[in-house]
Amino acid sequence: MFFDEQINRRGTHCTQWDYIEDRFGKSDLLPFTISDTDFKVPPAVEHALKERMEHPIFGYTRWNHDDFKEAITNWYVHRFDTVIEKEWLGYSPSVIYSVKQLITLLSDQGDGVIIQTPAYDAFYKTIIGNKRRVVTNDLIYDKGKYHLDLEDLALQMAKKENKILLLCSPHNPTGRVWEKQELIAIIELAKAYDVFIISDEIHMDILRKGHKHTPLIDLVQERVAVVTSGSKTFNFPGLIFSYVLIPDEGLRQRFFDQLKGADGLSSTSIFGLVATIAAYKKEAQWVDELNHYIDENIAFVTSYLKEQHPEVIVTPSEATYLMWLDCGALPYSMDELQTRLVDEGKVAIMSGATYGPSGKQFLRLNVGCPRQKLEEGLRRLTKSLQKDFMYDVSSFSERSDDQIIQRMD
């Protein structure tokens, strides 16, 4: 199977594998950390990139043309039953770059940006780094599932200095897919209090079976911008390409003026553009197969933890390839748990504290990887806990990292 293939990523300047020591203090760890996957890009993307490589000139490249725009608009129609106008589209090197630009265009220094926590750690950094204030609207965690706190959201939006809601849809790290009625409730509050919504929808394609993503722009076209990319879905964030949907012509022009004028980004990455067009035009079935594989990985982890570590509560996954594991019933602080994982198990799993105080009892486990790696990671998790919890780990034979990740011929 395509997604079972083991590919050695070491030696590629890969953040997840080559620089694990930067975050965890040791280099000999099996990583389940940063949110890219260990899957190679889809065949049509690989083919398109190789074909473009055969042309030996890599000059300045334009994104503003129908090849790009039709690939995006057709994807939205077929995946989400959503019609978007070509004029709304714009290029950006990354989703966080887009967030940064929109924050600075729509607010002043000292203004508040509301985020629903626990939240992607780059949100905090971008808001603070641009001299805005992080305003937290904690999600309600009840019986293992997350819900919006609309009452608190209304209170935060009512404060005139809070100009923006930075929405994550689907939500990272909890894996929630916001239902249509939840999004409508958010929109109604934003309209009532004149709050602009920036919706980060980079995880929009990676959905559990039975769940449907609703692009925010399908429900509202005023005081809203969507920032997203194919990079999470098709695993090419290193190609540096994302896009924005900005219906408001004036804001869109201001965004372009900043992109091209102030920041000198009039030309795009050739390979990011080529990969995005090929992926959206030709790899819908591949995405379906990817989602099925991740569904099975999540089911596998859930079953394993239920049998071997019932104290660890799995938050029901609705989207993303990131599992959110409640470790609050384990007899360790997160620092103690991380020490055990790193020193005993030789495994790197992200601490939920990275995503804010409300995540401090959680781990965020990246399951976007071949099953064999995941099996080894769970064996190492059990090894990390076995001094106090003597579970049967005989179902997983110990393997070295070199055996787990084999170099492709």
Q: Please write the tens of the pLDDT for every residue from 27-83.
A: 999 999 999 999 999 999 999 999 999 999 999 999 999 999 999 999 999 999 999
Q: Structurally, how many domains does the chain consist of?
A: 2
Residue 393 confidence (pLDDT): 40
Give this prediction's pTM. 0.93
pLDDT of residue 399: 44
Asked whether residue 65 is domain-assigned, the answer is yes
pLDDT exceeds 80 at position 327:
yes
Answer yes or no: do 366 and 311 share one domain.
yes
313-314 and 242-245 strand pairing: unpaired
The CATH number of residue 305's host domain is: 3.90.1150.10
Q: Which of 282, 301, 322 is the last residue of a domain?
A: 282
Stretch 118-144: mean pLDDT, rounded?
97
Q: Cis check for the bond before 215: say yes or no (omega within 30 of 0).
A: no
Task: Supply φ then ψ for residue 200, to 5 degrees.
Answer: -85, 110
- Does residue 304 share a domain with residue 270? no
Q: Is 372 in contact with 4 (CB distance < 8 Å)? A: yes
What is the Cα–Cα distance from 197 to 362, expressed in whole angstroms? 28
Instruction: Output the domain CATH number for residue 159.
Output: 3.40.640.10
Give the residue numbers spanning the domain of 189. Answer: 43-282
Among all chains, which residue has been given the structure tokens 């990740």? 405
Number of H helices, E strands in the chain: 15, 14
Kindly state whether residues 110 and 156 are assigned to the same domain.
yes
pLDDT band at 387 (very low <50, low <70, confident <90, very high): low
Residue 353 has pLDDT above 50, yes or no: yes
pLDDT band with cut points at 50, 70 and 90 for residue 163: very high
Same domain, 224 and 134: yes
Region of 8 on the Ramachandran plot (φ > 0 left; ψ -120 to 50 alpha; else beta): beta
Residue 311 in this model has a pLDDT that exceeds 50 = yes
Instruction: Answer with the one of 247, 282, 317 that is the final residue of a domain.
Output: 282
Same domain for 186 and 161: yes
- 390: pLDDT strictly greater than 90: no
Does 299 lie in the same domain as 248? no
* Range 145-162 average pLDDT: 98
Asked whether residue 146 is assigned to any structural domain, the reply reads yes
- Residue at 9 is within a domain: no
What is the pLDDT at residue 266? 86
With respect to residue 402, please indicate whether it lies within any of the assigned structural domains.
Answer: no
Q: Is the pLDDT of residue 125 over 60?
A: yes
Q: Are strands 196-200 and 162-168 parallel, antiparallel or unpaired?
A: parallel
Q: What DSSP string describes 12-77?
A: S--HHHHTHHHHHS-SS-EEE-SS--SSPPPHHHHHHHHHHHTS---------SHHHHHHHHHHHH
How many angstroms separate the CA atoms of 80 and 291, rounded? 15
- What does the pLDDT average to over 325-345? 95
Domain for residue 30, yes or no?
A: yes
Distance from C-alpha of 172 to C-alpha of 179, rounded to nearest angstrom: 15
pLDDT band at 403 (very low <50, low <70, confident <90, very high): very low
Q: Tell me: pLDDT of 173 over 90.
A: yes
Give yes or no: residues 289 and 325 share one domain. Answer: yes
Same domain, 114 and 173: yes
Evaluate whether residue 403 is within a structural domain.
no
pLDDT(347) > 70: yes
Instruction: Assess if residue 408 is contained within a domain.
Output: no
- Separation of CA 120 from chain center: 8
Domain assignment present for 127: yes
- Specify burial of residue 281 (Cβ count, 10 A radius: 0-12, 13-18, 19+): middle
Task: Give residue-wise pLDDT tens across range 68-80.
Answer: 999 999 999 999 9
> Tell me: the pLDDT tens digits for 257-304?
999 999 999 899 999 999 999 999 999 999 999 999 999 999 999 999
Q: State the pLDDT at residue 144.
A: 87
In percent, how much of the chain has pLDDT > 70? Answer: 94
Q: Which residue has the higher pLDDT, 347 or 396?
A: 347
What is the pLDDT averaged over residues 115-128?
A: 98
192/91 same-domain check: yes
3-class SS of residue 378 = helix
Find the helix or strand (DSSP H, E) in which 141 lies.
strand 140-142
Residue 194 shares a structural domain with residue 257: yes
Say yes or no to pLDDT of 389 above 80. Answer: no
Asked if residue 266 and residue 319 are part of one domain, the reply reads: no
Measure Cα distances from 181 to 148, 187, 245 in Å: 11, 10, 22
Q: Do residues 245 and 212 both lie within one domain? A: yes
Residue after which a domain boundary falls, among 221, 249, 282: 282
| Contact predicate 330/389, CB 8 Å | no
Greater pLDDT, 328 or 143: 328
Closest by CA position to 132, among listed 158, 154, 155, 100: 100
Q: What is the mean pLDDT of residues 379-393?
A: 71
The mean of the pLDDT values for the chain is 94
